[in-house]
A and B are shown apart, each in its own frame.
Chain A
Amino acid sequence: MILVVDPHSGIPVYRQLMEQIRFHVASGVLSPGDEIPSTRTLSAKLGVNPMTISKAFALLEEEGVLERRPGLPSVVRKRRDDRLQATRIKQLEEALRPIATKVFQLGLDPEEAVAVLRRLLDTDKR
């Protein structure tokens, strides 16, 4: 799993981490039971404050993505398939939100926009 943060983006680093871990879980790079590097390791590797990392882990635990275990590395939790699918859809929606605004700004007909997306998806299937 590769985590990359940009401390100079206005997005708080803990949010960047949460988003990437959620994505890795949703896309299957991380499977249930997989261990997550410790706060200490990640802090040294990414060069960010350890508090930031534990904040991300704590919130992901609340969301049910991770399970923190005292004295042991955190692990990815097993989730029901329908829950996992719901988070995939949610992530896609977040990513498409700015695109939707762009569609309005360009004055495109929604049907045309959807057609473009469909074409791109077909091309990518190859």
Chain B
Amino acid sequence: MDSVFETHSLTKRFDDLVALDKIDLKIRRQSIVGLLGRNGSGKTTLFRHLMGLQLPTEGTVETMGTPAAQLDHDELIRIGFVPQEIRLLDWMTVQQHLRYVSCFYPEWDMDRQKRLQRELELDPTSVVGALSTGNLQKLAIILAVCHHPQLLVLDEPVSNLDPIVRGRLLEFLLEVLQEDQATILVSSHVLRDVEKIVDWVVCLDRGRLVADEGLDELKERFAEWRITSRNGDLPSRFSDTFVLEQDIRGREARLLVDNAQADIETFQVTHHADVTTRPLNLEEMFPLLVSAEGE
């Protein structure tokens, strides 16, 4: 089994709304995958299917080699999940809650728990019901990783954490990847964080899969071209199919291009122009992957 999560033509409909539209996905073992998409694109729904919390309208979902609907003790004990909406037992203290959850796992790593409490700065005596959103996220993360999961699923885990704690969490995830040889799936709007640690990017747009590619390949695919004409004005519009966006001002232009089909040499000769290229980072290419219109 070289994939930990696999879907075939996964479709989920809520009445008229198509939340997931024929998703074919295969998540390779021992990698960190970033799940990207705008609000309402289907990220949380996809995660819920992975965990067997929702069942597909059509198609199949397999998690760790088992149909997600039949996930049982043997699989669940190897999965860690931090949902977007965290519901814990409000009346316990942090310490009590940690002890309570640890009882369910024979492999609970007390050293890791203590270290994370310290690094993420979470007070064990606080009452769970009184925790801020950020601190609740920290607790949910600690609860999800101390049993050394083989598959760790994090739905927007960093949205309410400060930059210092976020940095420590990212470092910790890299460590989990190596130490536990785990597979980590993380959804986030904080693209700068995602870019730092992921090796693979999956992007959803209105329930459709619009990217399923290595981060390096994506970076090599999209670029910005600064163009200067050698003689006279540039055309008012470039019709080449690899041009995704264009801004032309007389002799100068700025284009966003898909390198896969672009050929600079030919372009320079055809348009009597010089081209300087700059690759795009994840934040800059994200709008090119998803549609600009709202939900």
On whether the two chains bind one another, the answer is: yes
State the A residues within 8 Å of B (CB).
Answer: 7-15, 40, 43-44, 47-52, 55, 98, 101, 104-105
Asked if A47 meets B281 with Cβ closer than 8 Å, knowing A7-B196, A14-B216, the reply is: no
Q: List 14 A-B residue pairs with CB atoms under 8 Å apart, sorted by A's residue number.
A: A9-B279, A10-B222, A11-B219, A12-B215, A12-B220, A15-B216, A47-B174, A48-B197, A49-B198, A49-B199, A50-B174, A51-B199, A101-B274, A104-B274
Interface string of B203-222 (1 = CB under 8 A from A): 00000000000011001101
Residues on A with C-beta less than 8 A from B282 are 8
The answer, among B175, B222, B279, for a CB contact under 8 Å with A44, is B175
Judged by a CB distance under 8 angstroms, whether B223 is at the interface is: yes
- In the assembled complex, the Cα of A10 lies from the Cα of B285 at a distance in Å of 9
Contacts of B178 in A (CB 8 A): 40, 43, 50
| Cβ A50 vs Cβ B177 within 8 A | yes
Distance A8 CA – B223 CA, assembled complex (angstroms): 14
**In the complex, chain B residues whose CB is within 8 Å of the CB of A50:** 174, 177-178
| B198 proximity list for chain A (CB < 8 A) | 49
Q: Please tell me the size bucket of the interface on B.
A: 20 to 34
* Least Cβ–Cβ distance between B249 and chain A, in angstroms: 15
Q: CA separation between A12 and B283, bound complex, in Å?
A: 14
Chain B 166-182 against A: per-residue CB contact (8 Å), 1 yes, 0 no?
01001100110110000
9 A-B pairs with the lowest CB-CB distances in the bound complex, closest first:
A10-B279, A12-B216, A10-B280, A7-B196, A10-B281, A51-B199, A49-B199, A12-B219, A101-B274
Chain B residues near A48 (CB-CB < 8 A) = 174, 196-197
Chain A residues with Cβ below 8 Å from B216 are 12-15, 52, 55
CB distance from B92 to the nearest CB of A (A): 34
Query: For residue A101, which residues in chain B have a CB less than 8 angstroms away from its CB?
Result: 228, 274-276
Interface residues of chain B: helix, strand, loop or mixed (majority): helix
B279 lies within 8 A of A11 (CB): yes
Report if A49-B279 is in contact (Cβ < 8 Å); known contacts: A8-B195, A12-B215, A105-B274: no
* B1: min CB distance to chain A, Å: 19
Report the minimum CB–CB distance from A66 to chain B (whole Å).
Answer: 19
* Minimum CB–CB distance for B281 against chain A, Å: 5
Closest partner residue, chain B, to A100 (CB atom) = B274
Give every chain B residue within 8 A of A11 (Cβ-Cβ).
219, 279
Choose among A9, A10, A48 the residue with the greatest number of B CB atoms under 10 Å from its CB.
A10
Closest to A14 in B: B216
B115 CB within 8 Å of chain A: no
Distance A40 CA – B223 CA, assembled complex (angstroms): 31
Contact assessment for A10 and B230 in the assembled complex, using a CB-CB cutoff below 8 Å: no
* Closest chain A CB from B118 CB (angstroms): 18
Most chain A beta-carbon contacts within 10 A, residue among B175, B216, B274, B276: B216
Residues of chain B lying within 8 A (CB to CB) of residue A43: 174, 178
Give Cα distance in the complex from A98 to B274, angstroms: 10
Chain B residues within an 8 Å CB radius of A44? 171, 174-175
CB contacts (< 8 Å) of A104 on chain B: these are 228, 230, 274
| Separation of A92 and B280 alpha carbons in the complex (Å) | 24
- B196 x A47 contact (CB < 8 A): yes
Q: Does any Cβ of A come within 8 Å of B192's Cβ?
A: yes
B112 CB, min distance to chain A CBs, angstroms: 16
B199, A52: Cβ atoms closer than 8 Å = yes
**Of A10, A40, A49, A98, which contacts B219 at CB under 8 A?**
A10
A7 proximity list for chain B (CB < 8 A)? 195-196
